[in-house]
């Protein structure tokens, strides 16, 4: 068997090997290992195109974490030129080749690189990346070496493309599963949360209808109050659903302008205060105006205060604070004394319909979209919302807003004292 036959058989065997996996990283690693069996080289890399940039997806020897974050624009540099033009490039000596930037020559020589060969990876007529090898010797790759790499490149491109398609299909399946799960959760939550006040409304209304002539006035007023409370609860749920629909359809307008923050936060606290919790609103002195939508900020703070009351034991305090941060930011924080949030759930508290406990077992009601709405509104207003919590230590939600440009009339001549406003029992 002559040399060409042996090379051909090896190419076929290595092609089967690299295309025998649908895991992208495995396919890349197998491709570089196969290349090393075909041709001797000092260093090898496979770069893939992502959003107009080349990124090192695999290297041999392994590259540093910092090297893997380098993004090369398609069309820039030697490998970027290969990705843009689609032609192989062989550089026998990078120290004298005009295609190599002087900085690249210095880096190449300092890392022991003198010769370079790179060519595009093409799948279905589209360039998806670049495979390249280098060596410390001048003119290290013969024509036969380059022909062998060129002959093997389609196998690498096929393996990579198949793995990418497979990953996309898996992601699509997982997305569909998640969508179905969200639909199921939505139906369960809405059914539970709407049925509870509806049951109260129907039950109390039936009591009045059947026994109204026998009931004293105070009891009838009590039953009417319960019916009214149930109606308000249903209305709040429907308002939340309408708001989330508006956000997703792009119909919920946000108008950012300089506003005074204290009246907004005070109004939000007043509308959500109840008889089971004491709200303590503390406003630091000299808080500047903020750039925000006042009505949307009121909705956000009201949602946070309502959430804090919902999860705090009766008789406990809910602390709300407005404070300036370095004259550039203003922070609104809402702290409760509830059970806290387990660490494994902190990353999901702003997800749509998420609640720590299942809908049919949790003590606190709600559709699980208040915090989701708050996050979406903050994103639209260039604000940031965050949470810090620990089990048995309560939770603190913070909204950070940009301060408006200072004006001569934004601050009083003398610093105002800290203001503490108490609402509730």
**Same-domain pairing of 343 and 221:** no
**Same-domain pairing of 245 and 356:** no
**Same-domain pairing of 268 and 235:** no
pLDDT of residue 413: 40
**Same-domain pairing of 162 and 18:** yes
**Same-domain pairing of 239 and 279:** no
180 located within any domain: no
Residue ending a domain, among 197, 215, 249, is 249
**Same-domain pairing of 229 and 373:** no
Which domain, by its residues, includes 68?
3-171
385 located within any domain: yes
CATH number of the domain encompassing residue 238: 1.10.287.130
**Same-domain pairing of 285 and 337:** yes
Q: Write down the pTM of the prediction.
A: 0.50
CATH number of the domain encompassing residue 14: 3.30.450.40
The number of residues making up the chain comes to 425
Number of domain units in the chain: 3
CATH number of the domain encompassing residue 290: 3.30.565.10
pLDDT of residue 77: 87
**Same-domain pairing of 266 and 303:** yes
Q: What is the DSSP string of 227-269?
A: HHHHHHHHHHHHHHHHHHHHHHHT-S----EEE-HHHHHHHHH
119 located within any domain: yes
pLDDT of residue 414: 43
Residue ending a domain, among 171, 199, 229, is 171
279 located within any domain: yes
CA-to-CA distance for 15 and 34, rounded, in angstroms? Answer: 9
Q: Which residue has the tokens 């997800």?
A: 351
376 located within any domain: yes
178 located within any domain: no
Phi, psi of 15 (to 5 degrees): -60, -45
**Same-domain pairing of 326 and 218:** no
Give pLDDT < 50 ranges for the chain: 1, 358-365, 408-415
348 contacts 309 by C-beta, under 8 angstroms: no
Measured CA to CA in angstroms, residue 329 lies from 31, 104, 122, 164, 244 at distances of 51, 43, 50, 43, 27
Residue ending a domain, among 249, 272, 303, is 249
**Same-domain pairing of 242 and 149:** no
8 contacts 24 by C-beta, under 8 angstroms: no
pLDDT of residue 47: 92
pLDDT of residue 276: 80
177 located within any domain: no
**Same-domain pairing of 25 and 159:** yes
**Same-domain pairing of 157 and 39:** yes
301 located within any domain: yes
Taking phi over 0 as left and psi of -120 to 50 as alpha, with beta for the rest, 39 belongs to: beta
């Amino acid at each position: 068997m002559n040399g060409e036959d042996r090379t051909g058989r090896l190419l076929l065997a290595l092609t089967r090997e690299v295309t025998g996996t649908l895991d992208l990283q495995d396919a890349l690693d197998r491709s570089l290992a196969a290349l090393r069996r075909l041709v001797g080289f000092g260093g090898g890399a496979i770069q893939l195109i992502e959003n107009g940039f080349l990124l090192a997806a695999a290297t041999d020897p392994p590259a540093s974490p910092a090297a893997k974050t380098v993004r090369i624009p398609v069309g820039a540099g030697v490998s970027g030129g290969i990705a843009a033009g689609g032609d192989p490039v062989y550089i026998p000596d990078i120290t004298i080749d005009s295609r190599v930037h002087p900085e690249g020559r210095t880096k190449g020589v300092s890392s022991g690189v003198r010769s370079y060969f790179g060519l595009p990876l093409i799948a279905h007529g589209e360039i998806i990346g670049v495979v390249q090898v280098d060596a410390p010797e001048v003119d290290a790759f013969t024509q036969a070496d380059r022909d062998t790499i060129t002959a093997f490149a389609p196998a690498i491109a096929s393996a990579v493309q198949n793995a990418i398609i497979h990953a996309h299909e898996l992601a699509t399946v997982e997305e569909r599963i998640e969508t179905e799960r969200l639909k199921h959760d939505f139906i369960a939550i809405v059914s539970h949360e709407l049925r509870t006040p509806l049951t109260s409304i129907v039950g109390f209304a039936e009591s009045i209808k059947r026994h109204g002539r026998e009931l004293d006035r105070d009891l009838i007023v009590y039953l009417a109050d319960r019916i009214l409370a149930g109606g308000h609860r249903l209305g709040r749920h429907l308002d939340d659903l309408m708001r989330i629909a508006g956000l997703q359809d792009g119909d919920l307008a946000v108008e950012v302008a300089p506003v005074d923050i204290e009246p907004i936060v005070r109004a939000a606290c007043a509308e959500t205060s109840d008889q089971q919790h004491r709200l303590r609103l503390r406003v630091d002195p000299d808080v500047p105006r903020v750039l925000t939508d006042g009505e949307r900020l009121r909705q956000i703070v009201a949602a946070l205060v309502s959430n804090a009351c919902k999860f705090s034991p009766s008789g406990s305090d809910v602390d709300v604070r407005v404070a300036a941060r370095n004259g550039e930011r203003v922070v609104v924080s809402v702290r409760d004394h509830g059970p806290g949030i387990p660490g494994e759930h902190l990353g999901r508290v702003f997800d749509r319909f998420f609640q720590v406990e299942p809908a049919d077992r949790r003590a606190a009601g709600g559709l699980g979209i208040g915090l989701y709405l708050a996050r979406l509104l903050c994103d639209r207003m260039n604000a940031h919302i965050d949470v810090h919590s620990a089990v048995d230590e309560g939770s603190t939600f913070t909204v950070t807003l940009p301060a408006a440009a200072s004006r001569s009339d934004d601050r009083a001549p003398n610093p105002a004292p800290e203001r503490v406003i108490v609402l509730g029992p």
